[in-house]
Structure 1
């Protein structure tokens, strides 16, 4: 075959033919780019809709100024749309909580397990009874605190001590302690 026969017959053009390779590469790059842009335009909204909304992010933590709470007093706050009890224990309440044999409890936890080291006078728990989710009494002035001086659930009679440990009634567990940290001596961040 001669050189003119190869140039006239497009079926026989091979890698030596620069025009065919360049066109093919351009089509490949253009198709890949179009597919990438299409995939990104579908995936970006799909992934961004799965991110938590602004109101959920705003409720992911709560900061409380606890400086005005007096010993023996408790307050009720809100964390993730649920009540939180913040109680400042008196030295007498701390001594009573420590005197209870842990192995005698239904859900054995010591006061040290439920408070931060060096801040054992501050007890922070979720204000939701572990039986059926009612809100126990005991944070407000004059509210029934039960025979152990902590919290009393009016729905089914669960009684918690000053360390918010279940002592009597149908609740299976102690009031839950949420994750928290002290950002200063008077400010606690829950969550």
Structure 2
């Protein structure tokens, strides 16, 4: 009987030890998980955009004061944006161009929004080496095709901001934009 009592005591001890060990393991893994999150969270959160970057992630521009044939320069993500109110003549001339003859073939309709075909919104950065083309401000040289002219290396863009002559490989980039009303456009 003494043997049975010792065996019962020995058998009872390991069962309690396993339960304690399980609790200690769970507590240690939980503490390590909390500690890991406490270390990793600041590293991940510091990669998110800062408040000044988020503030520049979109720009709203009131276009009501831009007369047909005029253009303005705005700023979007610290880069110039050209907003041009095309005249019916400029739209007609842009639509007459044989798209297959262009280096970067795009129609005017592909570069504007439906219902707002007279509004051409492009980034004001030459696709050759990043200079700012002229032609948006009153009295600036607009190039041979009446659009924009890059003075750095002589790229000429037409009224639809498509490259027509010079070293630029692509048309002026059209950013993501949407009209929030008839007179306000949100870029970005």
Pairwise TM-score range, normalised by the shorter structure: over 0.9
Q: Deviating runs (4+, > 3 A) in structure 1? A: 16-19
CA deviation string 1:68-95 (max 9, x = no partner)? 1100000001111110000000001000
CA distance in 2, matches of 1:121, 1:130: 23
- TM-score with structure 1 length normalisation? 0.92
State the partner residue of 1:13.
Answer: 11
Aligned length: 187
1:171 CA displacement? 0.8
State the partner residue of 2:3.
Answer: 2
CA distance in 1, matches of 2:171, 2:99: 12
CA deviation string 1:128-150 (max 9, x = no partner)? 01111100000111100011110
CA distance in 1, matches of 2:19, 2:100: 81
Please state if 1:151 is matched with 2:148. yes
Please state if 1:77 is matched with 2:78. no
CA deviation string 1:112-132 (max 9, x = no partner)? 010001111000000001111
Q: 2:50 aligns with which of 46, 50, 53?
A: 53
Structure 1, gaps ≥5 residues long: none
CA distance in 2, matches of 1:172, 1:25: 67
Please state if 1:104 is matched with 2:101. yes
CA distance in 2, matches of 1:110, 1:30: 65
Please state if 1:28 is matched with 2:29. no
Structure 2, gaps ≥5 residues long: none
CA distance in 2, matches of 1:109, 1:4: 93
CA distance in 2, matches of 1:30, 1:13: 25
Q: CA RMSD in A?
A: 1.5
CA distance in 2, matches of 1:17, 1:174: 77
Please state if 1:127 is matched with 2:124. yes
Q: 1:66 aligns with which of 57, 63, 78?
A: 63
Give the 3-state SS of the residue equivalent to 1:94 in structure 2.
helix
Q: 1:44 aligns with which of 41, 46, 64?
A: 41
- TM-score with structure 2 length normalisation? 0.94
Give the 3-state SS of the residue equivalent to 2:129 in structure 1.
coil
State the partner residue of 2:135.
Answer: 138
